[in-house]
Structure 1
């Protein structure tokens, strides 16, 4: 059996769900544009540059979840998925996921974006396992804080290994392991698997992939 891991943002979707979720809330007037838009853009540029402080970002990204009842958040999330996320899942991305699922591989999405935002898309793609940053909650209400290790950079390896261990598995349980990603932030996990694949990569990842001889593919369209 193979292990197949997929990054989400700018890999399986042609955009960044973290960034777009904040923009969606700003557009609806849920978040104050003057206070949030410039910071959202700043964090996104830091992420692309590989300089993002994940703890500071998660404080920014998760705090709005603590201000509203879960039913209201779920309604907004449903609209967000229909209008902004499902339209940017390309046919090539769906075909790649289905290819690996049909082969019998153990598949998971491994993303820094929080599980509240990403779980509906994982279900839509038919991927049963989601390794994402977890927003903490108490009594059915989000606290605005993360729980456990954020699924970011080296944290993705920790989270994947914890997930495998919970099933009685480890890297050596698989004939081959794959990870598909667009981002330099994922170089730790890309370097861990036996079959790293750069997908529409940023310049830093592209240069690394070309030097290392990793496949470079596009899922756009």
Structure 2
């Protein structure tokens, strides 16, 4: 594998934020206190968009919610969420981009700030083997405890996670001829600045501005013409 291709998930490969939509799904199912949960969920989402999110605080809010359910109930909720929310959000244009890199023999991974419990099945639905995501601490049953295990995979920590993962494969970053990272978010500028081929994908206003100033290509993956 000569090349490395990394992808953010939310608003990059999906036209939604899977973490925020999970919270909205729980509210619709009536299994959380709607007013309090939605208020906090929306506040964290606004902080993320503004680049002011404390990732540990948010993750422990999200993971604490998971810990509050019995394992069987949580599995059923997650399955319904994947069917009702995620499956309809997977667009042919995103799948085609992934397949382009996979067919070229590139090493492909999704790297997301959203926790691995929520996103591992999404990566599988997209046909991506490698997922780098925030890891929930698990108890003896494999059930989330509500705590984070290790560093959040947010902002500059994505660079840390990438290098640690590549080390486990025995493939240092500089061994790749080309490295790509596709992301919509200005929070991902640290990793976008490290790869040889950054691609601002469905970019936020702040990332669009930064990408334009630095000559990075812009990709609008969910325009009607490419879906």
Q: Output the TM-score relative to the length of structure 1.
A: 0.98
Alpha-carbon deviations, 1:50-79, whole Å to 9, x = none? Answer: 111111111211101111222221111111
Matching residue of 2:151? 149
Once residues 30 and 76 of structure 1 are traced to their aligned partners in structure 2, the CA distance between those partners, rounded to angstroms, is: 10
Matching residue of 1:78? 79
Query: Is the contact made by 1:5 and 1:108 (CA closer than 8 Å) also made in structure 2?
Result: yes
Once residues 111 and 168 of structure 2 are traced to their aligned partners in structure 1, the CA distance between those partners, rounded to angstroms, is: 16
| Aligned residue among 173, 176, 192 for 1:174 | 176
| Aligned residue among 150, 157, 160 for 1:158 | 160
Alpha-carbon deviations, 1:95-118, whole Å to 9, x = none? Answer: 000100111000000000011111
Report the secondary structure of 1:169's partner residue.
coil
Q: Does 1:202 align with 2:204?
A: yes
Matching residue of 1:108? 109
TM-superposed CA distance for 1:14, in Å, is 0.4
Report the secondary structure of 1:144's partner residue.
strand
In the alignment of these two chains, the number of paired residues is: 221
Report the secondary structure of 2:193's partner residue.
helix
Report the secondary structure of 2:171's partner residue.
coil
Matching residue of 2:123? 122
Gaps of 5+ in 2: none
Q: Does 1:21 align with 2:25?
A: no
| Deviating more after overlay: 26-35 vs 97-106 | 26-35
Gaps of 5+ in 1: none
Once residues 144 and 60 of structure 2 are traced to their aligned partners in structure 1, the CA distance between those partners, rounded to angstroms, is: 12
Q: Does 1:138 align with 2:139?
A: yes
Once residues 95 and 68 of structure 1 are traced to their aligned partners in structure 2, the CA distance between those partners, rounded to angstroms, is: 36
Once residues 27 and 147 of structure 2 are traced to their aligned partners in structure 1, the CA distance between those partners, rounded to angstroms, is: 20
Query: Is the contact made by 1:177 and 1:195 (CA closer than 8 Å) also made in structure 2?
Result: yes
RMSD of aligned alpha carbons: 0.8
Query: Is the contact made by 1:90 and 1:219 (CA closer than 8 Å) also made in structure 2?
Result: no
| Deviating more after overlay: 64-73 vs 169-178 | 64-73
Matching residue of 2:60? 59
**What stretches of structure 1 move > 4 A for 4+ residues in a row?**
none
